[in-house]
Structure 1
C-alpha cells in the first residue's frame, strides 16, 4: 500500500515540512496573566512531530484576548516565556508559527485588563462569556474605533510580529477569522462605519490588508500566513450578499502580497461544510502558495482532501489534544484516543499534558 499523502514531506522554495499534518491553533487558556507557563513548553514539545505547529491564539495587546487565560506577546515577560516554548519545539526538531489575534468586540472588560472592548462599530454581541469571578456575563458594548486610532491597532500586529520573531517563532499567522477584530471589519453585520473602512469590498477589507502589509514589512512575506473563515456564521456574524466576492477579492490580494499560506477554518454543521469545495477550487486557482484547511477532519477525510490537490496541508485540533503522537499513530494505523471536553479550556495539567503516547498508554 502506498504511503499516506499526510505523511509525505511538503517541500517548497520557502518552507520544508516533514509531513503535511499541522496542529491547528487552539486557545487552551492555560496562560497566567498572559504568560505561557512551563506546562506549555511540554504541551508543544509533545506534539512537535507535526509538520507544523500553530500556537494558541496570542493576543497582540492587553485588551486583545477574548477569553480568560489567553496568552499574549505584548510584554517582555510574555515574549521570554514564548522563547522557552519555541526553543523546546526546536529542540525536538519541530517548527512553530505564532497565531496573532485581537478579539475586538469578543470578550469582557473583566477579562481584558478592565479596558473597553473595541470594534469597527458600536454593535454588541448578544452572547455571554465566562469572567474571572466564574460567572457568565453578557459581552459588553464595544467602543467604535476612531479612524485616527486605526493605525495604532495596525501597528499592534506589527509589533507582535516583531516580538514573535524575537522569541524565535518560525513565522506568524494573522487571525482574520472567527468573528474577531479583523473579521469584524470584513463583515457588514459588525461594520456599519461610513468612512473608508466600510461599505465596498475594498473598504471592508482595508484593515485586513493594512495589517498584512505591516506584518509582511516586519517579517518578510515568506514567514507570514493568515487564517480565514469564509461563510462562517459566528458571534453575530451572518452571511451577506457580497460574501463570496469579498473572499474572492481577499484571496486575489493575498496572492499579490505573495504570503506563505492561507489557512481556512471550516465548520461541519449537520454533515455539511461551511466552505464549499467550489470555493476551495477557486482558492487553488487564484492563490498559488500553500493552502491549509482545518475543521472536523478525520485522518481519512484529511487524506481524501489532500488527494484532490485543492489543499497542501490539513490541520487537526481536537485530535491533537488527545493524541500528542498523532503523526506516529497515523503512520502505524494505531487507534486514536478520545478527548475530554471538560478540560479543553481549564484544568491545569489535567487534559493538557497527561494524554499518553500510544506506546506508553496504560495496559
Structure 2
C-alpha cells in the first residue's frame, strides 16, 4: 500500500517528477558516448579529378593544399590541422576580422562590415576600418578569447548609449552606421523563448545532454514525412516531459523539414543551408505566438505564480514584475495602466471561474493550488502583457 501511495498520490507528484528529472540527468552524464567509424585508415586514400564528375573516369591525382597565392606555413601537415593553422596564422588577417565582425553584429545588430558573409570585393566597405583592425589584432593577441571580446563590447560607452532617436540623428545617420546612438533590434528567436523561461523561473540551466522535444504541434512531422518504411521517412513527433520542456533553445531537436514553429515565426533559419546573416522581421504572427503558444502561456502562468508568492501590495508586485522583464523601474503612468488592467482581469475571472481554470491548465508545470484561480489567472494575463511588450523582445 505504501509503494502504491508513493507512486500514485498527488501529494508525491512533485517529488516523483524531480526524481525522474535527476535520474535522466544522471544518465545523460554517465552514459558512454560512441563515435561510429567504419574503419580507421593508416593513410589517406588517393583523390583524383573526376572526368565530367564520373567516378568511373578518374583523372589527375590531387592532394590537400591551400591556394597557391595563399601558401600554407612551411612544414604544416596537409590535413585539417594544417588547414586550421593556416586559417589562424599571423600572416592571415582575415579570420580574426571575420570573427570579430560576427560577434560585433550579435550585439549591435549590424556588423562593422554590413555583409558578414562577404569580405571580398563585392562586400560592403567597413564603416570603421581602423576599429575593425584594432579589435581583430587585440582578439588574436589575447588567444582568441571570446569572453574577453564580449566583455569589451558590452562595457563600452558605444554599446551602453541610449537607443533614443532625435530628428537630427535620424537625418544625419538614419541607419545608425556611425553609432551615434545605441543599438535597438528584436532579439533572436531562441533568446525570446529563453528569456520568457528565465523570467518565469522555469528555465533549466544545466549544460550538456541530448536534444529535447518541447511543446510543438503533434502532427506537424507527419505532414512533412513520406510515410516510408524506415524511421527516417516515417517520423512522428513525440513530446518530452518534465525538465526537458524547459531547457535552453540550443538543446531543442531540430528537424530541418519541420523546424519548431514558435522559433520559425521569429525568423530562426531552417538549417537546410548555412546562414550567416539571419533575416529580421516584425509580423502579427509573432504576437500570436507569444500570446497563444503553450510555452509562452505556461511561462506567463509560472511568472504570475512567482509574483503572487512574494510579499507586498499590487503596486510592489507590478514594480518587481516590470523590473524583471525590462531591467528598469516602471513609471507612474505605466503603473496606473497595469493596475487598471489587473483590476479588469480580476473582474473578468471572478465572473468566469471556468475560464480561469482553463487558462491555468495550460502547460505541464505544476500549479500552486493555494492561489485562488481568479487571482492567479488575472496575474497570468498581466505577465503575458509584460512578456509581449516590444521592450521585452527588443534589445534596447
Both proteins in one fold, TM over 0.5: no
Bigger share in helix: 2
Q: When the two structures are superposed, what TM-score results if normalisation uses the length of structure 2?
A: 0.20
Larger Rg over CA atoms:
2
Which structure has more relative contact order (CA 8 Å, sep 6+)? It is 1
TM-score, L = length of structure 1: 0.21
